Amino acid sequence: EASWAMAVDGSGNAYIAGATAGSIGGPKVGKSDAFLVKFSNDGSVLWARQLGSNTYDSCRGVTVDDFGNVYICGATQGDLGGPHVGEWDTFLAKYSEAGDLLWVRQLGTPETDWSHSVAVDALGNVCVTGNTAGSFAGPNAGDWDMFLAKFDKEGVLLWSRQIGTSDHDESKGVAVNASGQIFIAGRTKGVLADANAGEADCFLAKFDPDGTIVWSRQMGTERSDHGEALAVDCQGNVYMGGDTGGSLAGTSLGETDIFLMKFAAPS
């Protein structure tokens, strides 16, 4: 088993999600299944759920809305929420506060598609970000591109966007502020916003609620730098965490260091 993501709700309950080759929250369906476990604030297991097809499935992101509904995202090689399209398809699933599966959505291209992070806005709309080797929401710019998709609370796809360079690009984190503005973070080996500084640079991009890109920022050293996670505070400030092989925000202490950046709330 591997746990890839966690979240905490307003009551202090905690959630972990990942992949299992066994039985965590139900009978094993395929070679590996996605799982979701809810814990009380004292660490007691409240419920566990397992979701899978007849082959490989994995969960990489989890979030909770203000009503206790839980959302997970990841990838599947089977028919999880629709017909399988490519090598790996991305999926999004919604559970109720009690752990009832409400819906599953599956999207993909003939190539490989992965979702890595999920966030929900104040209206219950759900934003998912990840990577695609195909034409997920537009022509592929080269190698891996990034995608951002927005669904309403019933799982209806509102829009999807694809951005990338001629090189390898990955989106690993997504966050939404109180105004519904969406931020994604990841890494690029190309020139996404500014000149590439090294092997891979970290990036941060902002989208309006309608999916229009507002700006993007690219930062890096002569080594590899990766944006891995995002969060937004109640004042709207944006935080990006990741790792760097160089001196991104101070003196490098080893082969790979971690970093945390804070960006001021949009005016």
More confident: 265 or 246: 265
**What domain range is 82 assigned to?**
1-108
Q: Do residues 246 and 225 lie in contact, with contact meaning Cβ atoms separated by under 8 Å?
A: yes
CATH number, residue 237: 2.120.10.10
- The average pLDDT across 229-239 equals 94
**How confident is the model over 118-171, as pLDDT tens digits?**
999 999 999 999 998 888 877 887 788 889 999 999 999 999 999 888 888 889
Residues 217 and 171 in one domain: yes
What is 127-186 written as a DSSP string? EEEEEESS-SSS---SSSEEEEEEE-TTS-EEEEEEE--SS-EEEEEEEE-TT--EEEEE
Number of Cα atoms under 13 Å in the Cβ half of residue 229: 15
Reported pTM: 0.92
Residues 261 and 136 in one domain: yes
- The average pLDDT across 80-89 equals 83
Residues 80 and 160 in one domain: no
What is the total count of domains within the chain? 2
Residues 179 and 253 in one domain: yes
Residues 237 and 128 in one domain: yes
Residues 104 and 128 in one domain: no
Q: Which residues of 84-122 are buried (b: 16+ CB within 10 A; e: fewer)?
A: bbbebbbbbbbbebeeeeeebbbbbbebbbbbbbbbbbe
Residues 214 and 123 in one domain: yes
Residues 12 and 93 in one domain: yes
CATH number, residue 42: 2.40.10
Residues 100 and 129 in one domain: no
Q: Provide the pLDDT for residue 173.
A: 96
Last residue of a domain, one of 93, 108, 123: 108
Residues 173 and 155 in one domain: yes
Residues 71 and 186 in one domain: no
Q: Provide the pLDDT for residue 267.
A: 62
More confident: 167 or 195: 167
Residues 101 and 186 in one domain: no
Last residue of a domain, one of 78, 108, 138: 108
Spatial separation of the C-alpha atoms in residues 72 and 49, rounded to whole Å:
11
Last residue of a domain, one of 108, 128, 145: 108
